[in-house]
Each structure stands twice: as C-alpha cells, then as structure tokens.
Amino acid sequence: MSDVTASFDGHVARLRQIRATEPEAIGAAFASRVRRPVLQGDGKLFIVAADHTARGALGVRGDSLAMSDRGELLRRLVVALERPGVDGVLGTPDILEDLALLGALDGKVVVGSMNRGGLQGAAFEMDDRFTAYSARGIVDAGFDFAKLLVRINLEDRGTAETIEATARAVSESASLKLPIMLEPFVSNWVDGKILNDLSTEAVIKSVAIASGLGESTAYSWLKLPVVDDMEQVMAATTLPTLLLGGDPAESPDATYGKWARALAQPGVRGLTVGRTLLYPPDDDVVAAVDIAAGLVHADVAATTQNA
C-alpha cells in the first residue's frame, strides 16, 4: 500500500469517482478482502479507532475541526494500518468503505461501529441510538467484530432505551457468533455537557452493568478507559478487555506509561486507540503508532528497536 500514501490526493479523487459512478465496487471490495483470525500469535490486539466523526466529535486537543478533512484522516489511517503490529481498525460504514476501496483492510481485523446517534453536545446525547452498523450488517460485510457505546446516566431517561437496545445488539451478535466490544461509562450532565466519570468506582459499576447485558455474553468483550486502579477494575470481570486511548490531553510519555501498566493486568488483551495516535502533538503518526504497537506486542517492540 506504499503507493497509497505517496499521492493521496489522487486516491481521494478516485474514491469520489467510484462512489458516484460505481457504488457496487464497495461490495466487491468487501467480498475480495483478505481476512485473518481475530486473535493470532501472542493473542493480543492493537486496533486503530476511527468512529469519532460520525458522532460529530471532530476535535483533538484545542482544534475543534482537527478530524474534519476526510482525505487527511484517511491518509493517517492508511499510514497507521501499514505499521507492523497494527491488527485492525474500528470505524463506521463511511470510513470502512473508503478504506476497503483503498485496499487498506486486507489482513486486518475490521470492527464495525454500531451506535453513533448520541451526537456530541446534543440535548439528546444520552439517547445513543444505533444509527450505523447492525450485527447482521457487520457479518454480511464480512467484518470480524462489532463495537458499541453504552453510557449510563442515572438522571437521564435516554439511558433506559440505550441499555435495552444494547442488550438486543449483544444478543443478536451472540446468535451470529460475532465478537462484540462494549464501551461502558457512567456519565453525567455537568453544566449542559455530558462528562464521563473516570473514577475507579464508576468504571467498576459500568463494567458490572455492561457485563450483564444480552441473552448471552459468550462473544462479549469490554473496551475500558485506563484509570488509577486498573487492578481493581479488571478484578470486576472475566470478559476479555481492550483499553481505550481516551482524549489526548496528557503528555504522550505519561499516556504511554499508563497504557503499559494497564496492559500488564490479567484479562487485558490490547489497545483500541484513535485520536491520540492519529493526531499526536508532534504530528509523527508513525512514531506514535510504533510505540503503541510495541506496548501491545513485545516482538514488534524488539523489531522496531533493531530497525
């Protein structure tokens, strides 16, 4: 895929032409995609996340429109997916279709994002409706994993419908033998905005609630934030867990240190990170992705250091 990164403007122009004149090419790209097992080798996963934009979340640090240039976002994703140790990508249909047309999904774990309806900053933000993939749609596309967001706000009635819809999605995924990643938070309205409670107690409570959703949890995974006491958090579940990168507010070194400590906990299977690595402070996507890949996969760390 090195030619993809060399002249990306041409590839964006080709995507626009295909979408306008050959929409059937998307299905053909899905059908011809080279697949891999979800877990292989060391049994760890490093997934690059790119489903933020569909919820209207375009900001990175102080730039509220950092992710608004679709061509630039795709370029950064392709750069990341080319790096050793990157196992896959998480996205909404628009992102994954573009990446498939670019040939960037071959040999990768592809995760379809399901509920993006709780738009950032909306009065109805807690009503996280399922507006992207369904479990059936993910299987039909030939993808490997589902992901959903379940924010729990005890003072907002929208939470009840979100939890019910989440349970249905978990049940459907289990019936299709489709792994599904639940990203739970205890969330609260603060000065008109939704803020996630990242205290250890709140994360443990969210884990307990999310773990009980659906008619079967045989295919359920968790996607959890890194908080102060990850040992206590991971003691709350037997479900396989990936760590999320979170908002890129801290210095990279502090963030990487927290990830390394959390990755050492039993039950943690890897990382799912987006903006922190795609838009690092120094804009060096390759370096940021390589560091994260090395934290997840020890063999990748050794190879990168010796390169």
Cα 219 to chain center, whole Å? 17
User: Whole-angstrom Cα distance, residue 242 to residue 271?
Assistant: 5
Could you tell me the residue range of the domain that residue 107 belongs to?
A: 2-306
Number of domains, the chain = 1
pTM of the shown model: 0.93
pLDDT digits (tens, 9 = 90+) for 86-144: 999 999 999 999 999 999 999 999 999 999 999 999 999 999 999 999 999 999 999 99
DSSP string, the chain: -HHHHHSHHHHHHHHHHHHHH-THHHHHHHHTPPP--SS-TTS-EEEEEE-SGGGT---BTTBTTTT--HHHHHHHHHHHHTSTT--EEEE-HHHHHHHHHTTTTTTSEEEEE----S-TT-TTTT-----S--HHHHHHTT--EEEEEEEE-TT-THHHHHHHHHHHHHHHHHHTT--EEEEEEEEEEETTEEEEE-SHHHHHHHHHHHHT-SS--TTEEEEEE--TTHHHHHTT--S-EEEE---S-S-HHHHHHHHHHHHTSTTEEEEEE-HHHHS-TT--HHHHHHHHHHHH-HHHHHHHHH-
pLDDT digits (tens, 9 = 90+) for 229-276: 999 999 999 999 999 986 666 788 888 999 999 999 999 999 999 999
Q: How many C-beta atoms surround the C-beta of residue 121 within 10 A?
A: 11
pLDDT at residue 2 in the model: 47
User: Whole-angstrom Cα distance, residue 102 to residue 262?
Assistant: 34
What is the CATH number for 46? 3.20.20.70
pLDDT digits (tens, 9 = 90+) for 142-171: 999 999 999 999 999 889 999 999 999 999
